[in-house]
Structure 1
Amino acid sequence: MSATAQPGDTAAQVLGALPPTAAVWCSGLRKRYRRRTAVDDVSFTVGRGEVVGLLGPNGAGKTTVIKMLLGLVRPDAGEVLLLGRPARDPRSRAKVGYLPELFRYQPWLTAAEVLALHVRLAGVSRPVAEQSECLGLVGLADRADDRVGGFSKGMQQRLGLAVALVARPEFVVLDEPTSALDPLGRADVRDLLLSLRERGVAVLLNSHLIGEVERVCDRVVILDKGRIAAAGTLAELLGQRELRLRLDEVGVDAEALLAGAGKLTRDGDAFTLALDDTADVPDLVAELVGLGVRVHAVEPGRISLEERLLDILRTGHTEEHR
């Protein structure tokens, strides 16, 4: 910083460089707790109308990152802009909805009273009809006047979603939103996330349910040991395709041909071949037949997000993140 620069200049310069569509911008986030580094040099963005998944094993730093984004934990280094304002500015959180992983509501209040309380805490004005509509959105319309103390874990999770959405947020952070929900509840949350995206609301989703992330997220950020191990769109992360074959009478030459085409794994007569391009599959099958191989099945597929995640975490492979 130059001798004439003021403390607010850095934030102003960063703000001026912020892409106009970004709901969240963070750069170089670091956080240590005594001798343990929880987060180390984490940078990413969440665009408006974009659903971004935050993935990683337990202890990877996901919740710490979320708390730094929301101004609940002060980073040791790095900067965060939240809806165009520094995260340390309380005004940056005025249009943010947050569902933490662990939460409790006053058991003596009804669902409607909990929602009304959080509307007051947010400092906004929302008609009672709109609050009731929000409860209906999460499937609690008929339980509005029931006390929270009698709610199941799944119903409390639905109420937490309503609290996160009632202030008409422009950015929503959901930390394990489907952890206590049954399959129907998870489908409801999936539909809700898609509707938020259609309305231009940005969403950061932390979930261990990889299948749900794969269905709704535009991009994924994978954390491991406090650092970004990989990041990108699902197409970028899952670009590699698989070819599953069931073959008989596979000789040495045929197996060498398969191994030369891509990463090969074998389990009896089942062969799995990782390919970057499936355009040459017909020629590959024809060559196998020419070598005397009997081809019983050929099934193209794509590596799942769960498989990709496990591969990244096991190998410690790090990609350039966006």
Structure 2
Amino acid sequence: MMSVADAPDSQINTTGIPPVVLTSELRKVYRTGFFLNQKVVSLKSCSLKVYKGETFGLLGPNGAGKTTLLKLLLGIIRPTSGRGLLLGRPLGDRTVKERIGYLSENPCLYDYLTAWEFLQLAAGLFQIPKKVQRQRIPQLLELVGLSQADARKKLLRRYSKGMLQRVGMAQALINDPELVFLDEPMSGLDPVGRYQMREIIVTLKASGKTVFFNSHILSEVEQLCDRIAILAQGELISSGFLDELLGTSNVYHVKGQGGDWEILKKWVPNLEYQPNGSWLGEVQGDAYDFLASLRLMGGQLIAMNLSRPSLEEFFVQQIQRHNNSQRIV
């Protein structure tokens, strides 16, 4: 399968706009051992592109090189070889940093400050005028679901993991960045926190921001991302649009309740009733027509999913295939 990073631009970007993230043969080798005479390859010849307005997901098991790639893109560490551009500038260019936002997996915040004070501190580092701060800080606190009263009075040391993650997201957006990097943004969050973080990412995408994030929660990635890339043992083994990787299908697994049995059987030939009164089956064809018919007959849809492999299934398959090929070599 051809990697999107190697595909002609015309196949993945019809606007002619250059990518906001571009890497070519990016490689990182660490030296370890007492005499630094041992080498550990953390990233191998990674080439990828991310375009403006995309939500891009970077996937991989623990130790695959995801955080290394993020640090290279952010200029925190330098590549051993290869090159890259961020917003049209070479990796490590300081002038780019005022145009990007970053949320680490475990943000280290000044816990003796309130959320409001911490965001004031972050805004000061970007030299954002006080007048703009007074407007932007409450907007961001509202976006991440923190009340202004709590933000002004409650110290960060009294915040839960989910609340700290939301404060971290607010500081990542304090400079109104064009490009946002999120390192495991769902890490350690409960279902409500994950939902809130997902809604924030959807809002960023709707406002035209480019979002680059890595996560182990593949169901969230499948919902949010336009394109993904998979790293394994430092190597980029797969990348592309989700429809390209998972395939397309006009068959849907459906679950519902109510409706007219005879009409339902025309739509769902393999209709099966369940003990709890619901029904299961597959619908082939125009899903919108089926939903309109179901509504007219007084039925209710409980769940509807495309009949194709999930991202989790595809991910496991790719990792297993890569591991098997490594054993053969």
TM over 0.5: yes
The alignment partner of 2:20 has SS state of strand
Q: Distance between the aligned counterparts of 2:321 and 2:62, measured in 1? A: 17
Alpha carbons of structure 1 residues 306 and 177: separation in structure 2 relative to 1, 3 Å: same
In structure 2, the partner of 1:288 is none
C-alpha displacement of 1:192: 1.6
TM-score (ref. length: structure 2): 0.71
The question of whether the paired residues in 1 share the 8 Å contact of 2:120 and 2:133 is answered with: no
Matches within 5 A, 1:210-289: 210-239=218-247
The question of whether the paired residues in 1 share the 8 Å contact of 2:64 and 2:234 is answered with: yes
Q: Which amino acid aligns with 2:17?
A: P
The partner residue of 1:195 within 196, 203, 207 is 203
In structure 1, the partner of 2:120 is 116
Asked if 1:41 corresponds to 2:49, the answer is no
C-alpha displacement of 1:240: 6.8
The alignment partner of 2:167 has SS state of helix
In structure 2, the partner of 1:250 is none
The alignment partner of 1:228 has SS state of strand
Matches within 5 A, 1:1-322: 20-34=17-31, 35-125=39-129, 126-142=132-148, 143-145=150-152, 146-239=154-247, 301-316=307-322
C-alpha displacement of 1:82: 1.0
The question of whether the paired residues in 2 share the 8 Å contact of 1:240 and 1:303 is answered with: no
Q: Deviations over 1:105-158 (max 9, x none)?
A: 111101001001111112333321211110110011242111101111111011
Alpha carbons of structure 1 residues 192 and 21: separation in structure 2 relative to 1, 3 Å: farther
More displaced 10-residue stretch of structure 1: 307-316 or 82-91: 82-91
Q: Deviations over 1:231-276 (max 9, x none)?
A: 000001101769999xxxxxxxxxxxxxxxxxxxxxxxxxxxxxxx
More displaced 10-residue stretch of structure 1: 213-222 or 96-105: 96-105
Alpha carbons of structure 1 residues 312 and 122: separation in structure 2 relative to 1, 3 Å: same
C-alpha displacement of 1:180: 2.4
Q: Distance between the aligned counterparts of 1:197 and 1:103, measured in 2? A: 22
| Identity over aligned pairs, percent | 42
C-alpha displacement of 1:92: 1.2
Q: Distance between the aligned counterparts of 2:163 and 2:135, measured in 1? A: 20
Q: Distance between the aligned counterparts of 1:33 and 1:55, measured in 2? A: 21
C-alpha displacement of 1:25: 1.0
The question of whether the paired residues in 1 share the 8 Å contact of 2:112 and 2:155 is answered with: yes
C-alpha displacement of 1:21: 4.3
Q: Which amino acid aligns with 1:89?
A: D
Q: Deviations over 1:282-305 (max 9, x none)?
A: xxxxxxxxxxxxxxxxx9721000
The question of whether the paired residues in 2 share the 8 Å contact of 1:242 and 1:303 is answered with: no
More displaced 10-residue stretch of structure 1: 176-185 or 36-45: 176-185
The question of whether the paired residues in 1 share the 8 Å contact of 2:73 and 2:92 is answered with: no
The question of whether the paired residues in 2 share the 8 Å contact of 1:97 and 1:173 is answered with: yes
Alpha carbons of structure 1 residues 144 and 31: separation in structure 2 relative to 1, 3 Å: same
Higher Cα Rg, which structure: 1
Matched residue count: 250
Q: Distance between the aligned counterparts of 1:152 and 1:109, measured in 2? A: 15
Q: Distance between the aligned counterparts of 1:78 and 1:123, measured in 2? A: 33
Gap runs ≥5 in structure 2 = 1-15, 32-38, 254-283, 286-304, 325-329
